[in-house]
Amino acid sequence: MGYKIRKLLVVLIILLPVVSYTGCKKQAKCGCSGDMLYSITDQIFDHSSIVYNASGTNAYFFVYSGYYYDTYYFCNPSEMFAAYNSISSDDQVLLTGDLYWDCSYVQSASQSSSYSYQQSYYKVYNIKVTKIESSSLYGKK
């Protein structure tokens, strides 16, 4: 009788982890063609807070998150360069787009032993901008 109970316990110890395994949690795909995190709509920025290089092939901005500044790199800076240049530098800018994790950030943060990329203080995103235009708030025309 005791032998059968021991045998049953050994079988349960082996089979229980196999039966209870639910699989790995899927990590979000990063980059501009990855899994979208969320969208922002008509977010207001100062014209000077959006930084473009001279040729319009690279653009980014920072947003203060409470402790650090999160960085947002444009997925499509060339497409939005003409619209950005048409806005007066004194105006505020309305920006709309979809956010994704930046792949280099995810890779470096996931190799860190202390934090995961979703829990670290600063974050780096890619944003596929769908609209950038002048804001007419506060009586500006």
Residue-wise pLDDT tens digits, 82-93:
999 999 888 899
pTM of the model: 0.74
Pairing relationship of beta strands 59-64 and 38-46 according to DSSP bridges: unpaired
Tell me how far apart the alpha carbons of residues 6 and 25 are, in angstroms, rounded to a whole number: 34
Residue with the bigger pLDDT between 11 and 114: it is 11
CB contact at 8 A, 76 and 126: no
* Tens of pLDDT, residues 47-79: 899 999 999 999 999 998 888 899 999 999 999
CATH of domain 27-136: 2.40.50
Q: Which two tokens stand for residue 90?
A: 């004194």
Predicted pLDDT at 5:
79
